[in-house]
Amino acid sequence: MVVMAGRGRCGSGGLEAEGRHQIKMADDNEDLQADEELPAPAEDSFEQLENDSPAERSGHVAVTDGHCMYVWGGYKNAQVRGFYDFYLPRDEIWIYNMETGRWKKSKTEGDVPPSMSGSCAVCVDRVVYLFGGHHARGNTNKFYMLNSRSTDKVLQWVRVECQGVPPSSKDKLGVWVYKNKLIFFGGYGYFPEGKQRGTFEFDETSFWGKTPSPRAAHACATVGNRGFVFGGRYR
């Protein structure tokens, strides 16, 4: 389990950062390398989609802020190209207004994340936080934020420069929000063979019961001060 914490400053709210969008992170993956920087995809690498509603997709993220739901990323099947999957455009986010029942496509700029699936996302104080996922070169552990209520004409992504040891690159993980902290659990990733992962000391005061088994593609939710995990896959 990974905890990312802090108090925030990003537009109108968010997790408080130290310096320029920095959030402390804690995990035991100090020796794992982050993914390489990805070039922008070619404009013709995406299928032409209707503009009045988002395309069908899997592996996307969806978060709510007030009466709006924000949908980003994922992949779909290109039926006209031999039935293979392709990632959806990374520079657009779909917004569903639950009061009017209408979809709106919004273009984004800035430190736009690569096209991905299997990321996790939450919205805290009108700021969307996006972590992890799988792209054309494998998994990532990059961390991004987007002010959903920005007054700019185009929504701006900002890549968060983190302090401490980051979580390993992974996808299909879960996340909770609790007391101004993001808590990540599970996911698929690469475990380095032949490396000592360190020594650990058992602390009885930090033990609450039987821990969940390793898993990915599960569901997470919070009710009050409790976090719940349901389902998922081990292989």
Q: What is the DSSP string of 139-169?
A: EEEEEEEEETT--SSSEEEEE---EEPPPPS
Domain that holds residue 120: 2-36+46-230
Residue 51 included in any domain: yes
Q: Domain tally for the chain? A: 1
Residue 225 included in any domain: yes
Residue 235 included in any domain: no
pLDDT tens digits, residue range 115-125?
A: 999 999 999 99
pLDDT tens digits, residue range 178-195?
A: 888 899 999 998 765 545
More confident residue, 221 or 13: 221
Residue 41 included in any domain: no
Place of tokens 């709106």: 104
Three-class SS of 34-96 = CCCCCCCCCHHHCCCCCCCCCCCCECCEEEEECCEEEEECCEEEEHHHCCEEEECCCCEEEEE
Residue 26 included in any domain: yes
Residue 7 included in any domain: yes
Residue 175 included in any domain: yes
Confidence (pTM): 0.75
pLDDT tens digits, residue range 21-62?
A: 444 444 444 444 444 444 444 433 334 444 589 999 999 999
SS3 of 100, please? coil
Residue 191 included in any domain: yes
